[in-house]
Amino acid sequence: MSELVSAGSRIIIGDSPGRQGRPGFIEELERLMCREVMFENVKGRKVEGYRNELICGESSESVGDGDLEIAVFDLMGNSILRKLKECGIQGNVQYHKPAFTSEELKDYAGNLGRHTKNLFVKSKKGEMFLIVARDDAEVKFKELGKILNVKSLSFGKEELLRDVLNVEKGHVNPFSIFNDVKGEVRFILDRGLLEIEEFFGHAGSNDISVGIGGQDLIRFVEESGHEVEVVDFKLKST
């Protein structure tokens, strides 16, 4: 199942309400996907005849007609994983506890290797930027503003982030540039990431990270219709 999720598939799992084996089933799903699994009881229709044989086996008896309560867990496919696949990029997909900052990501998935720091910022004139840097890079807005020839950089508001990149605060990631269909956001990449063989960034949800290389990320961004602007960021002083 984890392979299907990694491929961006949508999975709908049906189960009998109150089944005795449910806790163990949920535990296994969470082990595979590292996320909270909750089933919802819904009304359906009992299966009979040929369709029942397809589901239960050729020798199964019909379960009849009428209403049926079934517990459903609907796992939506990940659009970013699908887009990576469409671009011919084979990412290293990993699941972990939800991480809202690069520091939390280190705690939950530090064994994966290097991670990206992702910042959505805007200028005084309203120009927008998605900054993707090494997790230990120091991003100083005043100095960056001079390099980009803009004034007064500040974090973009949550509403703007949602409208432009279609992500919530704590979920900003390198791949969300694909959601900027109007081409309003400039993509700023830390040159240091190009020297790292593999680094990880959120894949639209802060409990899924994808490891890729710098050239693959550039290809992904360019496929979205954006230009990659490479900037030298200094590392944080220890």
Q: What's the residue count for the chain?
A: 238
Write down the CATH number for the domain with range 79-235. 3.90.960.10
Residue range 221-235, pLDDT digits in tens: 999 999 999 999 988
Tell me the pLDDT band of 16, cut-offs 50, 70 and 90: low
Residue of 27, 191, 211 whose CA lies nearest to 109: 211
Between CA 114 and CA 105 the distance in angstroms is 10
The domains of the chain are located at: 2-75, 79-235
Residue of 2, 71, 9, 74 whose CA lies nearest to 31: 2
Neighbours of 101 (CB within 10 A): 12
Over residues 73-94, mean pLDDT: 75
> Which are the contacts of 44, defined by CB distance < 8 A and separation ≥ 6?
67, 68, 69, 70
Tell me the pLDDT band of 144, cut-offs 50, 70 and 90: very high
Over residues 107-122, mean pLDDT: 82
Q: Is the pLDDT of residue 141 over 60?
A: yes
Q: What is the mean pLDDT of the chain?
A: 77
How would you class 136 by CB atoms within 10 Å of its CB: exposed for 0-12, middle for 13-18, buried for 19 or more? middle
Between CA 194 and CA 209 the distance in angstroms is 18
Residue whose pair of structure tokens reads 């004034």 in the numeric block = 151
- The CB-side HSE value for 106 (13 A sphere, CA atoms) comes to 9
Q: Is the pLDDT of residue 201 over 60?
A: yes
